[in-house]
Amino acid sequence: MKRIAVLVSGGGTNLQALIDAEKSGIIVNGKISLVISNVKGAYALERARMNGIASAVVLKKDCGSQEAFEQNITALLREHEIDLIVLAGFMSILSEEFTKAFPHRIINVHPSLIPSFCGKGFYGLHVHEKALEYGVKVTGATVHFVNEIPDGGEIILQKAVEVKEGDTPEILQKRVMTEAEWNILPEAVSLFCQDRLTVENNIVHIGE
Ligand code: GAR
């Protein structure tokens, strides 16, 4: 059984999708063992509590530096013997030192079809604002491995979602979550936990 840590900053609907997927057996060979939030009072922490999952809050301002912040997170990950780190609405960019310490063991869900609308400054609702401003007719979500480049790691799964006339950023965000994120994130986690993902020349292959 692979032990999964989920890093969050907000509402945690993607965390909820993972919890539901574990319960219904969609996640094979994986157990959500720890939730870490970098925001005090994030509703995601309440979701962890209601489901009996260990949780912790690590605040950058209390740690004093990015390095100390990441050392605190790393200590928790080691203590809980974590195999897979899932960034699910985690709104803090992790350093090269951190990402290099866990090669192909960190995955992130991003609310667009990478390489569109991604990188520094593209997070949460902003991503959907930019997609609507640009006028794209199709957007979606991406699950990818995390490396030192924000949203630059190898793509694991993507799903397209239609943009509709009259969409607001909020409406589009909800559609991208329900039609894409909440499906492809648990699916990617399950593939990882079954050792079905391999990476060759920056391409992720999905095995049987
Ligand atoms: C999700 O849409 C997620 O893809 C996005 O933030 C939202 C978090 O919602 N993440 C990013 O933009 C990361 N670059 P949640 O807390 O309800 O899961």
Q: How far is the CA of 113 from the centre of ligand 1 (A)?
A: 14
pLDDT value of residue 187? 98
Structure token pair of residue 51: 């489901």
Separation between Cα atoms, residue 178 and residue 186, nearest integer Å: 12
Residue nearest to atom 3 of ligand 1 (CA): 89
pLDDT value of residue 149? 96
pLDDT value of residue 99? 98
Q: Answer whether 86 contacts ligand 1 (Cβ < 6 A).
A: no
Q: Answer whether 88 contacts ligand 1 (Cβ < 6 A).
A: yes
Return the bridge partners of 91, or none. Answer: none
Residue in the structure block whose two tokens are 């509590």: 49
Separation between Cα atoms, residue 132 and residue 65, nearest integer Å: 36
The model's pTM is 0.98
Mutate to test the pocket of ligand 1, among 6, 9, 13, 107 (most ligand atoms within 8 A of CB): 13
pLDDT value of residue 67? 98
Q: How far is the CA of 48 from the centre of ligand 1 (A)?
A: 17
pLDDT value of residue 96? 98
pLDDT value of residue 68? 98
**Taking the chain (208 residues) in consecutive chunks of 10 residues, what is each chunk's mean pLDDT?**
98 98 98 98 98 98 98 98 98 97 98 97 97 98 97 98 98 98 99 98 97
- Atom of ligand 1 at shortest range from CA of 17: 18
pLDDT value of residue 179? 98
Closest CA to 156 of 102, 96, 109: 109
Q: CATH 3.40.50.170: does it fit domain 2-206?
A: yes
User: Phi and psi dihedrals of 28, rounded to 5?
Assistant: -100, 130
pLDDT value of residue 17? 99
